[in-house]
Every structure is written in C-alpha cells, then in structure tokens.
Amino acid sequence: MKTRLLAKPTQRLTDGRHFRNGRSMRGKVIEFITIEDVRQLIVDGVSESLNIEFKLHIPVSPEEQKAQRAKDPSLSVPRGWQGSGSISNFGRDALSEEIVAFANAGGGTLVLGMEETEAAPPRASRLNVLPNVFDLESRLRDAFNDCIEPRLPYLAVRSLVTENDGSGVVLIETSPSSLGPHWVKKSRKPTIRREDRCDTLSMPELHDMVLRRARSLDEVLHGRLRNGADSRSTSQTTSFI
C-alpha cells in the first residue's frame, strides 16, 4: 500500500537540519520514511538505543487499565488511544517525558505502534497498528506543544497508514535542543536519554546543563556583538578613505 505524507512536521531549519544529517531514523528525512523502513527495523532486529524508542501504544494509567478490563475482560492490552476522543493526561505526559529526554540529550525518534521483545535490550518485534493515526498525529502534536516547556525548537510528528481503515503507526522525532533543559509542564520533570532509558536529570546535572546553555548563549551573543563592531569599523574606514 502506498504510504502518504499526512502532515508536514513543524521545524526550525537550524536544529532540524543538523539532526537529520546525523541522527534521524535510518538516515532519512522524516517526510521520506516509509512503512517499509519501519518494517525493516523488525527484520534487522534493531534495539532501543540512545536515539530510538519503541512504544506498543500510548501508556495507560492503572485506573484506566482497570476500567478498560472491566468493560472488556477479553482485552489483552489496554489502549491509550481508541481512535477518537482525547488523549489522557497520563498518556500525554508519559510520551512527553520520552520526547523531552531525547531533546535534552542527542535527539531521537519514538516509534508508536511497535511491539518489542522482552529480552534486554528490547528489539523491534512486530507492528501493533493504532486506529485512525491521521487524527492521532494532530492530537499528539498539539499535546506536545501544550505541555513541553520551553517549546521544542524542532518537533516532527508523522503518521504512516498501513490499513484501509486508517490504522497505522506514528513517528515522533526531535533534535538535540539548544534551549534546554526542557521539562513536562505538569510534573516539572526534566528527563534525559541514557542508552535505552528515559531518566530524570539529577539536580547537579540540571545545574550543569543550565550553566552550559548560558555559556553557549553568551558566546553567541558576544560573537554577534564582535561581528557587528567589526562591520561598523570596516564601514567607517571605507567611508574615510
């Protein structure tokens, strides 16, 4: 089945282009990734790593799991997305923490709708298609923009339809951010990617990141001021001659 691009990702070219050249999934621009590329992750036995995370579905809270199983005792895997309606705050925040972790580290891609092996490190096992991924793509993009602070300079959310009923998978990509540390608004939790894990930044790490970002911004500002002064000096010399 032909894969179509359902929506263009929002991006800022500086961070986005840098990320795409070195760390994007399978070395491709996200607009050109196909469902065949996603299936190849399974064939190759790709494992979760510093730059890729697999999620079977949107995480569900214990209360939601209990309610879903009470309604349908045969349900084997509770779902955080039923194909319509809103995404729960629990699921939204859990996914946001993963995306924030990538942005505070080296960037990465989350594949939503991928089952993984139980053995460590978890490897891509098989697709677990989600319903109505076109709508899910839009809702996820809005959710991330609303609950991640500061707003990410580059965030791409792309749905890949695999079935005639609109089911498929969703790719979520972000780059390493120069605006961090980022955190999830509700929990105020700044996370970071370590190998194949999403961890919380310790206070010393958070302090160090803030200082490094401040020094980097300071260097950029001073560089611009020097360039501006050099330009004015050259202009004045030219005028004098």
Burial class (CB in 10 A: 0-12, 13-18, 19+), 200: middle
CB 160 within 8 A of CB 170: yes
Report percent pLDDT > 70 for the chain. 80
pLDDT of 35 > 80? The answer is yes
**What are the strands, taking DSSP E only, across 56-137?**
108-112, 114-116, 124-127
Q: What angle do CA 153, 158, 185 make, to 5 degrees?
A: 45
Residues 65-114: pLDDT tens digits?
888 888 888 877 777 887 777 888 899 999 999 999 999 999 999 999 99
Average pLDDT, the chain: 83
CB 154 within 8 A of CB 124: no
Residues 164-196: pLDDT tens digits?
999 999 999 999 998 889 999 998 989 999 999
pLDDT of 10 > 80? The answer is no
Distance (Å, whole) CA 222 – CA 192: 29
Per-residue pLDDT at 215: 76
CB 136 within 8 A of CB 110: no
pLDDT of 161 > 90? The answer is yes
Type and span of the H or E element at 149: strand 148-149
For the chain, what is the radius of gyration of the CA atoms? 21
